[in-house]
Amino acid sequence: MQTGRYIAKTQNIQLSIDLQQRFVNVDNSIMSYNKSYFTPKAYITIEMPKSSQLSLGAFMGVFNPDFNLYDTTVKSIDPYQTLTGNPDLPIRDVWSAYYSFYMQRNWGYLQLYGSYEHSSDVIYQTTVYDSQENVFRHSFLSGGKKEDLGINANGQLNIIPKKLKFSMGLTYKHKTEHGVPRNTVDFLWQYYGLTYIAKRFNAQLSYKSESKYISLGKTVTMPALLRFSAGYNYKGLNLNFSTRNPFMRCHTKRVYSVDGFNQTSRSYTPYESYDFFNISVSYRFNYGKKHKFNDVDVDTQKKSAIL
């Protein structure tokens, strides 16, 4: 990769431009090629009064399909389905842009974030019925475009400074694949969190609503997530407890529909994505000269607006 970088600064503004040329070499049992791609980036950050900041950015890049999508071996899924890759799938171009506004105050912070991503030659799954063999044959094609729009607002309220914090985030997502079939998902993703930090005790409760995305022509729905964790320490003794979606039964749903073929699947991962409980106990021994250990107040809130 070759990179040329230009940076310009004033008292409150910084502009950064990266001119990148990426070189890709692939040589395996499926294919062999050498290619290069121009992937520039540009950012501008504006420092505003009262601990506020505005950022804008734009990017260009490429997306390499997984190698298994190129494999021409006919794989049997079950007695009625086969899957075959396509060695002619292209490496698609991707460009995106974003804005971010961040404001820090004594009472907490507020962040507004938005992004748009566009890619060409989107890869999607195709299905054809073979009447002679009485099987559905799945493969992959490319064409059309993919769009991803996200608008987010998130923040934190310091209810009791350095002790009790409430966090909240709302994100609107619109995703579209203009392939065959044409898939679109729209949803509002929500996050709520409550964190308490004391001298020897800490606890956190959070909730994330379900989310959706599109992958190879399939619409995937991820389940909601409820988490709770608590910890206590005293003179070297540490007790911790955590749980995810307790006493629930959650699943990931995948839906694929094309002319003459409809498929819906649900996958369950108990004791991992739901009904997960964990208890840990540890003790710290000190030998020789005694040291004084102080607890450090760490802000556990992730200031991220990307779903």
Residue range 148-171: mean pLDDT, rounded: 97
The model's pTM is 0.81
Q: What is the per-residue pLDDT for 1?
A: 59
Q: What is the per-residue pLDDT for 64?
A: 79
Q: What is the per-residue pLDDT for 292?
A: 59
Q: DSSP label at 162? A: T
Q: What digits encode the pLDDT tens for the residues 28-81?
A: 666 666 778 888 999 999 999 888 999 999 999 888 788 788 888 899 999 999
The answer to whether 111 and 155 are in contact (CB under 8 A) is yes
Q: What digits encode the pLDDT tens for the residues 254-291?
A: 998 887 788 999 999 999 999 999 999 999 887 665 55
Of the listed ranges 26-35, 215-224, 238-247, the least confidently predicted one is 26-35
Between CA 202 and CA 296 the distance in angstroms is: 12
The domains found in the chain, sorted by start residue, are 2-283 (2.40.170.20)
Q: What digits encode the pLDDT tens for the residues 226-236?
A: 999 999 999 88
Q: What is the per-residue pLDDT for 289?
A: 59
What is the chain's mean pLDDT, rounded? 88
C-alpha distances in angstroms, 132 versus 129, 137, 173, 218? Answer: 9, 12, 43, 27
